[in-house]
């Protein structure tokens, strides 16, 4: 196995990870018992300024004069190759190419029961791939893969001893593209908007997989009262027929089998998801204080025996809203949260950041409309911290932006459904991408549709429709599991008034926009109230304290006011500085705290 430099394990103050051995350094949640060839490193690189590469068949022959290291963003590669600013204003098209030799152990014969699979951890926004001059289609059948936050794979035909891989990546400032806080034609870089970070952003690898197999995705829903776990597995079948799926469950650090079950299936050719339920007697629950994990080994079996195997870790937990309270495993919980924008932080840095957030007293991290290395979820599972995940927002409200958002949501949630740490999903944030939410029926209907989809398909998560502003009410029922508000003020007396207005249901002026739109909504404590953004002290021209000691004092005063009111959680803005937004409590490089430990803990009885 090979390790990318960003993906190794670090040894520092995070003593709880000293014995951690991630046997798979790839950016995915599921392990496969096979070898892989990492194609990271130096690639040939070219900027296609006039978008002539397709017409001129660069995938057949092109004189590449530059190089770039994969993984790395287009912006980084432009900065290195041009010795200049990495910014681009409208659209960008770049090409990458490299040759690779096929090791003998990776060879596949005509009658083999294995296939070579090429996987991109993430690349985009629009990616096309050629092998030896031939255009490839993804397993889903796409010749152009759109999206830049999740992995996608290709099944390869017979390879040569030496092969040429060519990749075209195109992106633009198009506001229909889900991009979170990266700049666009609508929101320009500066202040709270960041530079684009696109292209070859995660590893690419080649591995031998089975023709008939379990894919690298597992959904987990637990019914803790009955000690039941519902797994959703995905099969990829080339040879239709009778199969079995066998599940084995172990404690995470033991080979002692605690449960097993077997299921007979008739599988057609293609890809299919299948739900399977297993009884797990005397199960230990996953929680913030005791993040107990189990290990699932799943096998696909044909008449000759086990032909495919995957392994993942999971935990049993129940997270729900009852009235205006939140419960984890049927026990009340207050969310002491912090906003987090990982940006282009390395895996090492993300680990340090998470541990520092827990040291601050946080039990929840809101990953703010960003696509991140999926191993962040593994880390959160292990250390015991809840995650609030969000789909990166498009920047305008159109039919196409909604379709792009739908596709990104479905891809992200399919790959994150394994993790007990993930408890909340936001569909949108502060109207970004749904600026017409108050009056456009199509926008409202789309959000309601996605809210109901998540409720049915992924009941293990709570769902927020439009975080912080303008939640949707239909016939007086909120189409969000939480009523969230973004409350910013550097003035303590204004802060008290805003909190009072929020808890008393005076929603018209408590935030920047009315808190609820659509049909009238009368708050009577039927949903939890969350102040999902507040603070931001230190941000330029915002007002309030600027130095760390004064910020810590102000935060303590604001936290004290939250504790006095019937609120179920809060999220401080934010964990680390990023570009112009300098309001972080944690050093982004070292992970050291700039304020006292425990500052964000609510200390509620």
375 and 407, same domain (yes or no): yes
The Cα-based distances of 112 to 109, 131, 235, 549 in angstroms read 5, 20, 19, 66
Give 568-584 pLDDT, tens digit per residue: 999 999 999 988 888 89
State yes or no: pLDDT of 84 exceeds 60: no
Q: What is the pLDDT of residue 73?
A: 87
Please name the residue that has the structure tokens 């996953």: 286
Is 603 part of any domain?
no
pLDDT band at 260 (very low <50, low <70, confident <90, very high): very high
Give the pLDDT mean for 103-112.
67
Task: Please report whether residue 586 resides in a domain.
Answer: no
Q: What confidence tens digit (pLDDT) does each residue in 301-318 have?
A: 999 999 999 999 999 999
Q: What is the pLDDT of residues 510-563, one digit of tens each?
A: 888 889 999 999 999 999 999 999 999 987 777 788 899 999 999 999 999 999
The mean predicted confidence, pLDDT, of the chain is 90
Q: Is residue 584 part of a domain?
A: no
- Rounded CA-CA distance 213/308 in Å is 5
Domain boundary among 186, 210, 234: 210
E-assigned strands of 384-515? 386-390, 422-429, 462-467, 471-474, 477-478, 483-487
Q: Are residues 105 and 123 in the same domain?
A: yes
Instruction: Say whether both 189 and 223 belong to one domain.
Output: no
Pair 172, 49 in one domain: yes
Q: Both 286 and 364 in a single domain? A: no
Assess if residue 18 is contained within a domain: no
Same domain, 339 and 488: yes
Pair 324, 369 in one domain: yes
What is the gyration radius of the CA atoms in the chain, in angstroms?
Answer: 24
Range of the domain at 534: 319-573
**pLDDT (tens digit per residue) in 434-492:** 999 999 999 999 999 999 999 999 999 999 999 999 999 999 999 999 999 999 999 99
Same domain, 202 and 248: no
Angle at 389 between CA 529 and CA 24, to 5 degrees: 150
Mean pLDDT score, 350-366: 97
Same domain, 252 and 336: no
Q: Are residues 141 and 240 in the same domain?
A: no
426 and 329 in a common domain: yes
> Range with the lowest mean pLDDT among 178-192, 321-335, 359-373, 417-431?
178-192
The domain that holds 347 is classified in CATH as: 3.20.20.80
CATH code at position 111: 2.60.120.260
What's the pLDDT score for residue 551? 94
Is 85's pLDDT higher than 70?
no
Dist CA 512 CA 97 (whole Å): 48
Mark which of 178, 210, 242 sits at the end of a domain: 210
- Residues facing residue 248 across a β-bridge: 260, 297
How many domains would you assign to the chain?
3
Query: Do the Cβ atoms of 594 and 584 come closer than 8 Å?
Result: yes
Shared-domain flag, residues 149 and 271? no
Q: What is the pLDDT of residues 382-438, one digit of tens each?
A: 999 999 999 999 999 999 999 999 999 999 999 899 999 999 999 999 999 999 999
pLDDT the model gives residue 546: 85
Greatest C-alpha distance within the chain: 75
CATH of residue 266: 2.60.40.10
């Amino acid at each position: 196995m090979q390790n990318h430099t960003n993906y190794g394990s670090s040894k520092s103050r995070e003593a709880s990870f000293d014995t951690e051995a991630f046997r798979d350094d790839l950016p995915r949640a599921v392990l496969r018992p096979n070898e892989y060839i990492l194609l990271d490193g130096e690639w040939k690189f070219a900027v296609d300024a006039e978008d002539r590469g397709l017409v001129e068949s660069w995938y057949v022959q092109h004189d590449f004069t530059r190089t770039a290291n994969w993984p790395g963003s287009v912006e980084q590669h432009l900065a290195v190759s041009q010795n200049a600013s990495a910014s681009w204003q409208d659209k960008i098209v770049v090409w990458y190419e490299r040759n690779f030799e096929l090791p003998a152990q990776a060879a596949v014969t005509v009658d083999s029961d294995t296939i070579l699979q090429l996987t991109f951890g993430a690349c985009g926004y629009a990616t096309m791939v050629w092998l030896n001059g031939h255009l490839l289609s993804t397993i889903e059948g796409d010749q152009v893969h759109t999206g830049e936050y999740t992995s996608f794979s290709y099944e390869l035909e017979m390879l040569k001893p030496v092969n040429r891989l060519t990749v075209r990546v195109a992106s633009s400032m198009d506001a229909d593209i889900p991009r979170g806080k990266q700049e666009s034609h609508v929101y320009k870089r500066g202040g709270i908007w960041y530079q684009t970070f696109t292209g070859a952003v995660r590893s690419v690898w080649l591995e031998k997989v089975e023709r008939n197999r379990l894919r690298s995705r597992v959904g987990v829903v637990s019914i803790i009262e009955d000690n039941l776990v519902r797994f959703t597995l995905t099969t990829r079948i080339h040879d239709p027929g009778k199969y079995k799926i066998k599940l084995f469950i172990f404690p995470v650090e033991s080979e002692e089998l605690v449960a097993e079950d077997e299921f007979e299936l008739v599988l057609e050719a293609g890809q299919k998801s299948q739900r399977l339920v297993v009884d797990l007697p005397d199960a230990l629950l996953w929680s913030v204080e005791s993040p107990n994990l189990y290990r699932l080994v799943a096998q696909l079996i044909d008449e000759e025996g086990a032909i495919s195997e995957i392994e993942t870790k999971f935990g049993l937990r129940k997270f729900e809203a009852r009235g205006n309270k939140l419960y984890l495993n049927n026990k009340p919980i207050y969310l002491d949260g912090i906003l987090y924008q990982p940006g282009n932080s390395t895996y090492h840095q993300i680990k340090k950041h998470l541990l520092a957030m827990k040291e601050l007293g946080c039990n929840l991290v809101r990953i703010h409309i960003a696509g991140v290395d999926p191993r962040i979820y593994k880390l959160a599972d292990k250390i015991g911290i809840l995650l609030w995940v969000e789909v990166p927002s498009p920047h305008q409200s159109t039919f196409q932006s909604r379709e792009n958002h739908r596709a990104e949501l479905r891809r992200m949630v399919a790959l994150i459904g394994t993790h007990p740490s993930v408890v909340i999903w936001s569909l949108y944030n502060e109207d970004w991408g749904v600026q017409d939410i108050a009056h456009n029926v199509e926008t409202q209907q789309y959000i309601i549709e996605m809210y109901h989809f998540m409720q049915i398909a992924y009941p293990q998560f709570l769902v927020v429709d439009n975080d912080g502003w303008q939640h949707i009410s239909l016939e007086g029922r909120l189409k969000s599991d939480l009523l969230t508000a973004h409350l910013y003020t550097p003035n303590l007396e204004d802060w008290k008034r805003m909190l009072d207005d929020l808890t008393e249901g005076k929603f018209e002026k408590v935030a920047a926009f009315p808190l609820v739109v659509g049909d009238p909504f009368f708050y009577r404590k039927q949903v939890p109230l969350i102040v999902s953004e507040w603070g931001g002290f230190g941000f330029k021209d915002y007002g309030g304290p600027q130095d760390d000691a004064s910020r810590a004092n102000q935060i303590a005063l604001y936290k004290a006011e939250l504790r006095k009111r019937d609120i179920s959680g809060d999220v401080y803005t934010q964990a680390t500085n990023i570009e112009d937004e300098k309001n972080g409590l944690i050093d982004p490089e070292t992970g050291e705290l700039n304020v006292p430990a425990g500052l964000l803990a609510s200390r509620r009885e």
